[in-house]
Amino acid sequence: MRRKSLQLYTDHPELEFAVPGHRACQGCAEILALRLALKVFGKDTILAMATGCMEIISTPLPLTDWTLPWIHVAFENAAAVASGIEGALRILMDKNKIPRKDINVVAVAGDGGTSDIGLQALSGALERGTNFTYICLDNEAYMNTGIQRSSSTPYGAMTTTSPPGRKSIGQSTWKKNMPKIAVAHNIPYVATACPSYPFDLFSKVKKAKMTKGPSYLHILSVCPTGWRIPTDLAIRYGKLAVKAGVFPLYEVENGEWRLTYSPEPLTPVKDYFKGQGRFRHLTDEVVAEIQGRVNKEWEELKGMCVK
Amino acid sequence: MAKPMDQYKWHELNVGCVIEEIGNASEYKTGDWRSQKPVVNQEKCIKCGLCWLFCPDAAIEQMEDGRYRWNMDYCKGCGICATECKPGAIKMVEEER
Amino acid sequence: MKKGIEVSIAASVAAKLARVEVIAAYPITPQTHIVEHLSDLVANGELDAVYINVESEHSAMSACCGASAGGARTFTSTSAQGLELMHEILFIASGMRLPIVMATVNRALSSPLSIWGDHSDVMAARDTGWIMLFCENGQEVVDSIIMAFRIAEDRRILLPVMVNLDGFSLSHVIEPIEFPSQEEVDKFLPAYSPLYTLHPDKPVTMGAYAMPELYTEAKYAQEMAIVNSRPVIAQVMEEFGKSFGRSYKPVETYNIDKADFVFIALGAVSENIKTAIDALKEEGKEAGLISLRLYRPFPAEELIAVLANKKKAAVIERVMPGGAMNSPLYNEVASLVHANNMNLSVQNYVLGLGGRDAHPEEFMEIFRSVDTKQPLRKDMNFTVIGVRA
């Protein structure tokens, strides 16, 4: 039984910290990713959340979806807010104003809140060695505001601000490699994950939780609304992304790279694109170009990973 | 129990609009978003729990016998449980209203 | 016993006396001496606090929000562009009712870049929902920082407080300053006891969003908090006087009893105005000064009381109106005069921009010419002193 095996990662798999009643779209894998991650973090956790889908679906005053201490300040500053919380806990414990115990400080933001507007605050918090976990829930565009492109939107994808047209193929830039940017800060733990592989995700969340110092989790969060796929296929498309090598599952522990799941032989990118409205306009030439890039990046990643 | 938004007077809000009643979003029922609903053939259930694990809405609960039931107050009818159910015990059918 | 000390250093000593617990700050001229000295105090173990070296002022104020929400007594300091970079978060700190204290070392805003003093920065942040104090001298800076925490953390208030001190002309001068003892400060300012904190033992949600059904009520509650803070602030100032022998009022006056004419000003420029008033007195002429120590909430009642029977006023400001008919403080004084049917003629003068000195002679000239002064144009109801035409 799955729930038994979940007990490897959490004492209380039945506890929900993102309770039913939130207003996430049908089939949202982003709230799912968070729901699963929070089970591992457990009740001694404080969440600092950026403006975005997860914030807006959860806290319309006077209601809140969270049963953990939770704060939202603005869009671009979740990492800085988390730094302040971590500092407060540290000094209040040092001064014996609050009992000493391990409290997980977790910052959560979307891909825009991480790789675009929040990148500076995140870099600062990682560089300072803040004892926290930063989770980027990557649904590959600004979904909350209506599917605008971010620097995390994949090449070729149609969004409302990267529309394909006579002079455009859609998104004209390649997805920013956020995990690699996090790794460049020489922090103890960086990992990619996807809720389609929940046990891989649990294990990485647990490692992030146990890390002293900054840890960074980049979680692919399939968005049926923005990717224009049926609501029941979020788990499927997460798996397809991993199997095509588009979103590899790996971790970097103290500078050592390791694939946590090898999907080789990779399935063709076109199998992953098929059925996604955001890629429907792509020509065979563009798909072939993307396939070439995916193959190249996959080989580079394998080269960095220990066997 | 929170009141409807339009019934709060200004002095009834907490300082800084802090919410003390955690998890009270459950007062909001998302079940009426549904256009399709899951129907379970409990005979086919192998108690693997994948439906429970993958439910974005935490709307699936385990029963005493290890099988699962759906809280229709919250199930939005996305169909992930039916698609991911290995033995095919869950089918999505049109919601009748 | 007074000690000769640079005002910036004195400001950081005041923060230490207030036993601040988290400091998150980013260096900017002319605020730097404050944060450098605080860094020293933390590094030497003289101040038991966490100093967060953030990568921007935006993150400084964001980290302050996190720390204050976490239950720590929180302090920061900035100037000019830094205050503008924080701007977004200033509104959030006050909306979330986080009792952060910030020393703003007032400086001109770019462009053109100027590191020198004026009030462009604070005036652009005047309506962010922060309580705002202005200081005339170093002693006021020290006392104001200590009072600021008492005011901010009062359960009847719970709002952030900005202590304004003029860049260079106040921040970098050496003045004789009397420091209260730690015991006295501890008695006046007990440890911070937050109403809500982020802690797993009692989880709460902070920073929820409001739909149109609730936004007005949320903002009205915040407005009531700042408007109703005025008598509490006056009370704290009075109590400070009883404890430390230096009493303050939201509105300070100088030589107003015999004068029909008063200057109305904010900050350290008041000292030069006082020099001018003394010189005028020697000529047998009477001019007074009204200096606003408290700018937000606007001390309307106190101002009405001290303006009673006055005939003429000159509002002195260190900010260009930016296309408005008048500078900000003038607008509020004029609104006060209008709303209360006061028989007071008010003129508006802009000076001291970007570090330009404001000499006592200029204030004497303002006094002499106030009756004959005509605005340059209908849409520009202010006079810029000292601009080369």
Whether the predicted pLDDT of C374 surpasses 80: no
Q: How far is CA A130 from CA A84, A104, C64, C136, in A?
A: 9, 11, 15, 39
Same domain? For C277 and C335 the reply is: yes
Same domain? For C95 and C187 the reply is: yes
Any C CB within 8 A of A73 CB: yes
Same domain? For C235 and C264 the reply is: no
Q: Residue C19: which of A242, B53, B6, A95 has the closest Cα? A: A95
Q: What is the pLDDT of residues C91-137, one digit of tens each?
A: 999 999 999 999 999 999 999 999 999 999 999 999 999 999 999 99
User: Which residues of chain A have a CB within 8 Å of the CB of C69?
Assistant: 71, 81, 84-85, 88
Q: Tokens 């009847």 correspond to what residue? A: C156
pLDDT (average), residues C289-297: 98
Q: Collapse the DSSP code of B37 into the 3-class scheme (helix H, G, I; strand E, B; otherwise coil) and give the result.
A: strand
Tens digits of pLDDT across chain A (307 residues): 455 678 889 888 999 999 999 999 999 999 999 999 999 999 999 999 999 999 999 999 999 999 999 999 999 999 999 999 999 999 999 999 999 999 999 999 999 999 999 999 999 999 999 999 999 999 999 999 999 999 999 999 999 999 999 999 999 999 999 999 999 999 999 999 999 999 999 999 999 999 999 999 999 999 999 999 999 999 999 999 999 999 999 999 999 999 999 999 999 999 999 999 999 999 999 999 999 999 999 999 999 998 6
Question: Per the structure, how many domains does chain C have?
Answer: 2
Same domain? For C269 and C196 the reply is: no
Instruction: Say what percent of chain C tops pLDDT 90.
Output: 97
Cis ω before A262 (30° cut-off from 0): no
* Measured torsion, CA atoms of residues C86, C89, C94, C98, in degrees rounded to the nearest 10: -100
pLDDT (average), residues C158-164: 98
How many interface pairs between A and C have CB atoms less than 8 angstroms apart? 171
Whether the predicted pLDDT of C158 surpasses 90: yes
pLDDT (average), residues C211-215: 98
User: Which residues of chain B have a CB within 8 Å of the CB of A3?
Assistant: 49, 52, 62
User: Does the distance separating the beta carbons of C203 and B18 come in below 8 Å?
Assistant: no
Question: Which residue, C243, C271, C303, sits at the end of a domain?
Answer: C243
Cα A58 from Cα A64, distance rounded (Å): 6
Query: Mean pLDDT of all residues in chain B?
Result: 96
Whether the predicted pLDDT of C375 surpasses 80: no
Mutate one of C62, C193, C206 to test the A interface: name it (highest A CB count within 10 A).
C62
* Chain C touching partners, 3 or more CB pairs below 8 A: A, B
What CATH number is given to the structural domain containing C22? 3.40.50.970
Count each helix (H run) and each strand (E run) in chain B, helices first: 2, 4
Same domain? For C132 and C209 the reply is: yes
Any B CB within 8 A of A7 CB: no
Give the distance from residue A64's alpha carbon to the nearest chain B alpha carbon, in angstroms.
5
Cα C269 from Cα B43, distance rounded (Å): 85
Kindly state whether residue C389 falls inside one of the protein's structural domains.
no
Kindly state whether residue C157 falls inside one of the protein's structural domains.
yes
Q: Which residue of A has its CA nearest to B5?
A: A62
Give me the pLDDT at residue C70, please.
Answer: 98
Question: Which residue, C178, C209, C243, sits at the end of a domain?
Answer: C243
Give the distance from residue A281's alpha carbon to the nearest chain C alpha carbon, in angstroms.
37
Listed in sequence order, the residues at least 6 apart from C215 whose beta carbon sits closer than 8 Å to its beta carbon are none
Q: Which residue of A has its CA nearest to B55?
A: A32
Q: What share of chain C is helix, strand, coil (3-state, %, to 5)?
A: 40, 20, 40
Listed in sequence order, the residues at least 6 apart from C223 whose beta carbon sits closer than 8 Å to its beta carbon are none
User: Which residues of chain C have a CB within 8 Å of the CB of A91?
Assistant: 21-22, 48-50, 72
User: Does the distance separating the beta carbons of A61 and B25 come in below 8 Å?
Assistant: no
Q: What is the pLDDT of residues C343-367, one digit of tens each?
A: 999 999 999 999 999 999 999 999 9
Kindly list the structural domains of chain A, giving each domain's residue range(s) and its CATH number in brackets, ordered by start.
2-304 (3.40.50.970)
Question: Is the C-alpha dihedral spanning C362, C363, C366, C367 positive or negative?
Answer: negative
Q: Which residue of C has its CA nearest to A55?
A: C208
Give me the pLDDT at residue A6, please.
Answer: 84
The pair of three-digit structure tokens given for residue A147, joined into one six-digit string: 């599917």
Query: Mean pLDDT of all residues in chain A?
Result: 97
Q: Which residue of A has its CA nearest to C93?
A: A73
Residues C70, A84 contacting (CB under 8 angstroms): yes
Please tell me which of the candidates B33, B49, B56 has its beta carbon nearest to residue A32. B56
Residues A37, A135 contacting (CB under 8 angstroms): yes
Question: Which residue, C190, C219, C243, sits at the end of a domain?
Answer: C243
Give me the pLDDT at residue A2, please.
Answer: 56
Residues B62, B51 contacting (CB under 8 angstroms): no
Give me the pLDDT at residue B13, please.
Answer: 98
Same domain? For C234 and C348 the reply is: no
Range of the domain at C126: 2-243
Give me the pLDDT at residue A11, please.
Answer: 85
Residues A72, A80 contacting (CB under 8 angstroms): no
Whether the predicted pLDDT of B22 surpasses 70: yes
User: Which residues of chain C have a CB within 8 Å of the CB of A44?
Assistant: 200
Cα B15 from Cα C156, distance rounded (Å): 10
Q: Which residue of B has its CA nearest to A63?
A: B25
Kindly list the structural domains of chain B, giving each domain's residue range(s) and its CATH number in brackets, ordered by start.
30-97 (3.30.70.20)
Any C CB within 8 A of A91 CB: yes
Give me the pLDDT at residue A307, please.
Answer: 64
* Chain B touching partners, 3 or more CB pairs below 8 A: A, C
Cα A179 from Cα A115, distance rounded (Å): 10
Same domain? For C207 and C297 the reply is: no
pLDDT (average), residues C80-100: 98
Mutate one of A57, A65, A92 to test the C interface: name it (highest C CB count within 10 A).
A92
Kindly state whether residue C83 falls inside one of the protein's structural domains.
yes
User: Does the distance separating the beta carbons of C53 and A128 come in below 8 Å?
Assistant: yes
Give the distance from residue A297's alpha carbon to the nearest chain B alpha carbon, in angstroms.
30
User: Which residues of chain A have a CB within 8 Å of the CB of C48?
Assistant: 91, 94-95
User: Does the distance separating the beta carbons of A63 and B2 come in below 8 Å?
Assistant: yes
Same domain? For C379 and C232 the reply is: no
Mutate one of C21, C51, C54, C59 to test the A interface: name it (highest A CB count within 10 A).
C59
Same domain? For C377 and C329 the reply is: yes
Kindly state whether residue C108 falls inside one of the protein's structural domains.
yes
Residues C292, C264 contacting (CB under 8 angstroms): yes
Kindly state whether residue C315 falls inside one of the protein's structural domains.
yes
